[in-house]
Amino acid sequence: MTGLDPEAHRILEIGAFITDFSLTKLSGSEYHALVRQPDDVLAAASDVVKQMDAGNGLLKQVRERGRPEAEVQHELAALIREHFGDEPVTLAGNSIHQDRRFIRRWWPEVEVLLHYRMLDVSSFKVWMQGKYGLEFQKQETHRAVDDIGESIAELEYYLTWLREGVPAQ
């Protein structure tokens, strides 16, 4: 996003993996797109996003290769329907309440497909750090597909530790 306020900021990039409950990606279920936004929206990006852009180049890539937002929203909704039919899908990942706020505000076609329940890996993070002192190290690239892969790896790390009582390798 261009910032953290869904009323003032917009979605720049979307990544999605559909997994089973073993966290295995389903065939043909990975989606990624850059979302075109007007120059004034990009110029109004928060200072934090502009600083991250210096390292990850997201704003430049959005300008060069971003696709129409309505098209991206429609494709993501079609992917969800393809894999889930009429069943609501559970959004999962790190700090996804923030993602959900943007989806609710800007992508109603996707919002109606989501279950009210969500699986937030950040909840596991808080509990595992507080109770066991465990911390999963992430690369923090702040790019959609990287973040999803790291969220899956982080959840696997915590679940393995809980199952086996030792940190995952």
Per-residue confidence (pLDDT) for residue 166, from 0 to 100: 65
pTM: 0.90
Kindly list the averaged pLDDT for each block of 10 residues, start to end, along the chain of length 169.
Answer: 95 96 92 96 93 87 96 97 96 94 97 97 95 88 89 94 73
Per-residue confidence (pLDDT) for residue 63, from 0 to 100: 94
Q: Is 139 exposed, middle or buried (0-12, 13-18, 19+ CB in 10 A)?
A: exposed
Return the active site residues: 116
User: What is the spatial distance between Cα 53 and Cα 145, in angstroms, rounded to a whole number?
Assistant: 16
Per-residue confidence (pLDDT) for residue 41, from 0 to 100: 95
Amino acid at 118: M
User: What is the spatial distance between Cα 13 and Cα 24, in angstroms, rounded to a whole number?
Assistant: 23
Classify 156 as helix, strand or coil.
helix
Contact in structure between 107 and 113 (CB atoms under 8 Å):
no
| Domain annotation for the chain: domains and CATH numbers | 13-120 (3.30.420.10)
Contact in structure between 2 and 41 (CB atoms under 8 Å):
yes
Query: Which residues make beta-bridge pairs with 19?
Result: 25
Per-residue confidence (pLDDT) for residue 164, from 0 to 100: 86
